[in-house]
Amino acid sequence: MDHDHVVATAILQARDLDETAAFYVHIGLTVDVLDANYAIVVHDGHELLHLTTSDNPSPGSVYLNVGDAGTWHARCTDAGAGPGPIADRPWGMREFSVTDPSGNTLRIGNNV
């Protein structure tokens, strides 16, 4: 039996693609803008999520399971992105959340 490798990528809506893309760049990620309505957010050569424009966006959320949530929290704090407090959760994750200018929530954490 052939087993395919599957990767899921969240597509988040943005009111203003330039403003939302700038947020991701400001927290240390790379954004490849493909056209006026679509961009790909990249970290260390890997796609994290996609952004698409919408006149009336429905905010979404995505969970980023990272190697060290503390490093990501410091990066977001240093960038003035206003992350929530980082904490160890009962479900075995050390995590925090941050919201982009379009209202999308990133929950960022690592296993403890």
The answer to whether residue 100 scores a pLDDT higher than 60 is yes
**Distance from chain centroid for Cα 77:** 15
Domains of the chain, residue spans = 10-111
Assigned fold of 10-111? 2,3-Dihydroxybiphenyl 1,2-Dioxygenase; domain 1 (3.10.180)
Kindly state the tokens that stand for 50. 């996609």
Please compute the mean of the pLDDT values over residues 93-112 and round it to a whole number.
Answer: 97
d(C-alpha 112, C-alpha 5), whole Å? 26
Whole-number percent of the chain with pLDDT over 90: 89
- pLDDT score for 1: 52
In this model, does residue 6 exceed pLDDT 90?
no
